[in-house]
Amino acid sequence: MDYYAWMQLLEGAWTTAWISLVSIALGVVIGLVIALVRMAKVPFLDQFLGVYVSWARATPLVTLALFIFLSFPSFGINLDKHLSAILCLTLNTSAFNAEIWRNAFLNFSNGQKEAAEAIGMSRLVYFRRIMFPQMVIVSLPALVNEMSFLIKGSPAIASLVL
């Protein structure tokens, strides 16, 4: 391989890395917000986000990428190619992350919540100090698995839109 081929390979690896990292960061945060909103049981929002999560998890990445890249310009929304790839990957991974976080939330024992209430701990302090660290530990294998799927899928999606 010549110098030009190596440079293209390195450029592609760098593009994959930064698109994946941005999508992972956004997907984890958005997924946590979606899970918290769904656990709050706000009637319309819970149903809407449930439909979004089901739709995004069932839609293949390639289909979602083509939908974003081809249909958005017809509505007058012209996105940068990198932003299209990030949006596609973030929509997909946030849905999976929402279910991972929601599962960790649902499997949390009520005994610790009752103990925190007994000592006068507020809900926010309880979530930040007790619940969230344990949720991260329980969710870590599934989150890493989802991140590896995203990293493996990002070159294909980026090649479609870039």
| Each residue's pLDDT tens digit, 50-73 | 999 999 999 998 898 888 888 888
Residue appearing with tokens 């007790």: 130
For position 155, what pLDDT does the model report? 86
The pLDDT mean for the chain works out to 90
Asked whether residue 1 carries a pLDDT value surpassing 80, the answer given is: no
Burial label for 41, CB within 10 Å (0-12, 13-18, 19+), is exposed
Percent of the chain predicted with pLDDT > 70? 99
pLDDT of residue 51: 95
CA distance 86 to 24: 9
Residue with tokens 């790839």: 85
Q: Domains of the chain by range and CATH?
A: 15-161 (1.10.3720.10)
Q: What is the mean pLDDT of residues 15-29?
A: 94
d(CA 57, CA 80) in angstroms, rounded, equals 24
Q: What is the pLDDT of residue 58?
A: 93
pLDDT given at position 13: 87
Assess whether pLDDT exceeds 80 at residue 162.
no
User: What is this structure's pTM?
Assistant: 0.88
**AA letter at 49:** L
Per-residue pLDDT at 154: 87
pLDDT score, position 42: 86
pLDDT in tens, 104-140: 988 888 888 888 889 999 988 998 998 999 999 999 9
CB 2 within 8 A of CB 72: no
Is residue 121 helix, strand or coil? Answer: coil
